[in-house]
Amino acid sequence: MRVQIAAANWKMNLTVREAEKLLEVLLGESYELTENQKVVFAVPAPYLTIAEEKIAKHSQMFIAAQNVYSKKSGAYTGEVSVTMLQSIGVDHVIIGHSERREYFGETDELIAGKVNICLETNITSIFCCGEALPVREVNQQNSYVSHQLEESLFYLPAEQIVKVVIAYEPIWAIGTGKTASSEQVQEMHAFIRSQIEKRYGIEEAQSISILYGGSVKAANAKEIFSQPDVDGGLVGGASLIAEEFIAIIKALKV
């Protein structure tokens, strides 16, 4: 059974007090997570240490950075390295989110470099892919996503690709309130899995968690997560509201 993951992506939101309060409420709830389920909080960089301390006693909870640079150290003002993340116990990072691709010009090549450096340091990448609306409108989403996978992931050997988590996030559904239908989600997740199978084999394809992201909320999480190829979600807006994210965690497949 693949690991089922509820990942919160707080993006550039919350003050430190608000962040602490939100985590306290979320951690105060009892979830009865199975060994197969985990919860990841991708918090803003200045809160990584605080968040890490708060979740320390919760065995199935993890903290993620929302970004990392592709070099280990050096004169890269403003950037955060995997070595830094590792030194404070952060073991997950979101890589290649569409907002980073769009607003910060991240290329497939840079993203591949980030995936590589995470693998070298045993940090789990949550690799984001997904098409914009014009691509979906001309029904080119499969070739678009397949190209993203080819360029930034499929050069990896089998023993490394299985350590990556993939998040399919159609850009037209991010922060828009417009969720992809559960059929559209299942169709793309099955496609991504079939591409992994074609390149690597059935065992690899069956072991990689593929999350869906794009306006996931309490009201639709259960239906989306119940799709056979969906292994949880990467949640933006709804992860900032305690009751919403609690319900989303509880909607994970067991």
What residues are annotated to the active site?
97, 169
For residues 167 and 126, the answer to whether their CB atoms sit within 8 Å is yes
Q: Is 249 in the site for ligand PGA (CB under 6 A)?
A: no
Residue 119 or 126 having the CB closest to ligand PGA: 126
Q: Name residue 168's beta-bridge partners.
A: 129, 212
Burial zone of 84 (CB within 10 Å; 0-12 exposed, 13-18 middle, 19+ buried): middle
Q: Is 237 in the site for ligand PGA (CB under 6 A)?
A: yes
CB of 70 to ligand PGA, least distance (A): 21
Residue 205 or 252 having the CB closest to ligand PGA: 252
Q: Is 51 in the site for ligand PGA (CB under 6 A)?
A: no
CB of 233 to ligand PGA, least distance (A): 8
Q: Is 130 in the site for ligand PGA (CB under 6 A)?
A: no
Residue 182 or 206 having the CB closest to ligand PGA: 182
Q: Where are the beta strands (DSSP E) in the chain?
A: 4-9, 37-42, 61-65, 92-95, 124-129, 165-168, 210-213, 232-235
> CA of 88: how far to CAs of 53, 59, 72, 230, 249, in Å?
9, 17, 15, 31, 25
- d(CA 23, CA 171) in angstroms, rounded, equals 27
Q: Is 235 in the site for ligand PGA (CB under 6 A)?
A: yes
**Angle between the N-to-C axes of helices 218-225 and 182-199, in degrees from 0 to 180, rounded to the nearest 10:** 40
What's the longest Cα–Cα distance across the chain?
48
Residue 199 or 222 having the CB closest to ligand PGA: 222
The single residue among 96, 130, 170, 214 that binds ligand PGA, judged by CB under 6 A, is 214
Q: What's the chain's Rg over C-alpha atoms?
A: 17
Residue 161 or 174 having the CB closest to ligand PGA: 174
From the list 202, 186, 175, the residue with the least C-alpha distance to 10 is 175
Q: Is 234 in the site for ligand PGA (CB under 6 A)?
A: yes
Q: Is 135 in the site for ligand PGA (CB under 6 A)?
A: no
Residue of minimal Cβ distance to ligand PGA? 236
CB of 204 to ligand PGA, least distance (A): 25
> CA of 31: how far to CAs of 27, 82, 230, in Å?
9, 30, 20
Q: Is 216 in the site for ligand PGA (CB under 6 A)?
A: yes
Footprint of ligand PGA on 146-205 (CB under 6 A) = 169, 174-175
The single residue among 5, 6, 9, 180 that binds ligand PGA, judged by CB under 6 A, is 9
Q: Is 213 in the site for ligand PGA (CB under 6 A)?
A: yes
Positions touching ligand PGA (CB under 6 A) are 9, 169, 174-175, 213-216, 234-238
